[in-house]
Amino acid sequence: MAAGRGAALLRAEASSGRATFLELFFDLAFVVALTRVSQRFADVSDETGWALVGGLGRTLLLFLALWLIWSQTTWITSRYEPERSIIQAVVIGTMFAALVMAVTLPRAVEERAVPFTVAYLMVMVVRPLVVAAALRGHPRRLVPFRLAAWSALSAPLWLVGALGPDRLRLSLWAAALAVDYLAWALGWPLPRLGAAAVGRWRITGEHLAERHQQIFLIALGESILVIGAAFGGVDYSAERAAAFGIAFITSAVLWRIYFHRAGRLLNEALGRAGLPGQLGTASERTHALIVLSVLVTAVGYELVIAQPFGPPRPTWLLFVVGGPVLFLLARIRLDYEIFGRVPRSRVIGLVVLLLVTTALARWSPMVGLSVVAGVLALIALVDALRSRQRPLEDLASPIARETPGNREPEA
């Protein structure tokens, strides 16, 4: 009977693959969080040497902690029925914790380390125990127990990092986050129980794909917010107006490149995958890179709009060029995940950006942003021309193929 009540939490085959209004409400906390991440990147843009490396490292660590919260919540709502009251309570509680993390994020590695850590651990340790209790006697309760056990293992590193000397915080948190990500990659193995076969989980693939598309749009929306705030916060000039326009065009082209074929067919690919959990895991990692690339690119917009023809600053190329380069790398990976091929247009565009980076270091920020926008626009144009000449490719993911040898029951 207990297992039967716990089974009511699992997503039924007839369950809608669309994201619920609650999940869209949940994403509002990450609108704030991603904006804070972008601000932290912008704060270190004028640094050089080890100060720059340290600032980027701290911001990347905070982003990865937030991403772990968002992505695991997405897996919960893809695996369990989001209309159930207990799952809704879990999502709302996670949203509050994410909002606390977002509010503390600007100084999370400094004086606000304790509330940031407590909010993170409440999600990572307490949330899976709540889900396990709701599943009662169902066999799937072992998965959240595994997650809670591994999170409890890394919790001392988080707490000592937050409460201990400032000089040790970054290294302790990096070690703790490495444990959390490694545990997920390995399936949270425990003695006698083994590991959870994440790649064989039964999930609603269409739902997971839609959530990945939505987080990309949220990141892109954050870049639009940065463009508007940057242009509205400085004195008007024709040069800044031009930078504002080019920044907007760049964001629009990023949207076009993402949703061309692979991005648009992500729902269908995950829906038809023999092992949607396996493809979903790969897609989650790819979208972490895509979201990060958009945030980094948005910092470049802010820098260029503020001083479009200012003196050349090579470190700014990390944002003006580095963001789009990372985006193309991730987008190439997404093409491979969906079609099992690497598109030449993106590879050529990536090589061009890498080759011109050294030359752009001698030119004003406006020139760098214009070149990046031009290269991305050419990629989008090539995509559009090829779409007119040939039909959509058949899905041929090399990741999610199910064979008789790997049809084993999930953990």
Same domain, 243 and 324: yes
pLDDT at 387: 77
pLDDT at 401: 59
Per the domain annotation, does 77 fall within a domain?
yes
Which among 139, 171, 196 is the end of a domain?
196
Same domain, 183 and 212: no
pLDDT at 16: 65
- Three-class DSSP labels, 343-377: CHHHHHHHHHHHHHHHHHCCCCHHHHHHHHHHHHH
Per the domain annotation, does 68 fall within a domain?
yes
Same domain, 92 and 209: no
What is the value of pTM for the model shown? 0.92
Same domain, 377 and 320: yes
User: Going residue by residue through the chain (411 aa), what tens digit of pLDDT does each one get?
Assistant: 445 566 677 776 666 667 888 899 999 999 999 999 999 998 888 888 888 888 999 999 999 999 999 999 998 888 888 888 999 999 999 999 999 999 999 999 988 999 999 999 999 999 999 998 888 877 778 888 999 999 999 999 999 999 999 889 999 999 999 999 999 989 899 888 888 877 777 777 788 889 999 999 999 999 999 999 989 887 889 999 999 999 999 999 999 999 988 777 887 887 777 777 788 888 899 999 999 999 999 999 999 999 999 888 888 999 999 999 999 999 999 999 888 888 889 999 999 999 999 889 889 999 999 999 999 999 999 988 887 766 666 666 777 655 434 443 444
Which among 158, 178, 196 is the end of a domain?
196
* Strand, helix or coil for residue 10: strand
* Strand, helix or coil for residue 277: helix
pLDDT at 82: 84
pLDDT at 14: 60
How many beta carbons lie within 10 A of that of residue 33, not counting itself? 26
Same domain, 178 and 291: no
Same domain, 166 and 215: no
Q: For residue 183, give its domain range.
A: 2-196
Q: How far is residue 343's CA from residue 335's CA, in Å, rounded to a whole number?
A: 7
Same domain, 160 and 270: no
Which among 173, 196, 219 is the end of a domain?
196
Same domain, 168 and 293: no
Amino acid letter for position 359: A
Structural domain count of the chain: 2
Per the domain annotation, does 233 fall within a domain?
yes
Per the domain annotation, does 400 fall within a domain?
no
Q: How far is residue 206's CA from residue 229's CA, in Å, rounded to a whole number?
A: 34
pLDDT at 395: 66
Same domain, 162 and 220: no
Q: How far is residue 62's CA from residue 30's CA, in Å, rounded to a whole number?
A: 13
pLDDT at 408: 39
Q: How far is residue 401's CA from residue 145's CA, in Å, rounded to a whole number?
A: 29
CA 378 to chain centre: 26
Per the domain annotation, does 111 fall within a domain?
yes
Same domain, 263 and 384: yes
Per-position DSSP letters for 142-198, written without gaps between them: HHHHHHHHHHHHHHHHHHHHHHS-HHHHHHHHHHHHHHHHHHHHHT--BTTTB---G
Q: How far is residue 78's CA from residue 74's CA, in Å, rounded to a whole number?
A: 6
How far lies 79's CA from each of 7, 205, 409, in Å? 11, 9, 15
Same domain, 282 and 253: yes
Per the domain annotation, does 405 fall within a domain?
no
Same domain, 145 and 261: no
Per the domain annotation, does 404 fall within a domain?
no
Per-position DSSP letters for 46-106, written without gaps between them: T--HHHHHHHHHHHHHHHHHHHHHHHHHHHHHHHB-TTSHHHHHHHHHHHHHHHHHHHHGG
How many beta carbons lie within 10 A of that of residue 237, not counting itself? 11
Per the domain annotation, does 409 fall within a domain?
no
* Strand, helix or coil for residue 295: helix
Tell me the CATH number at 224.
1.20.1410
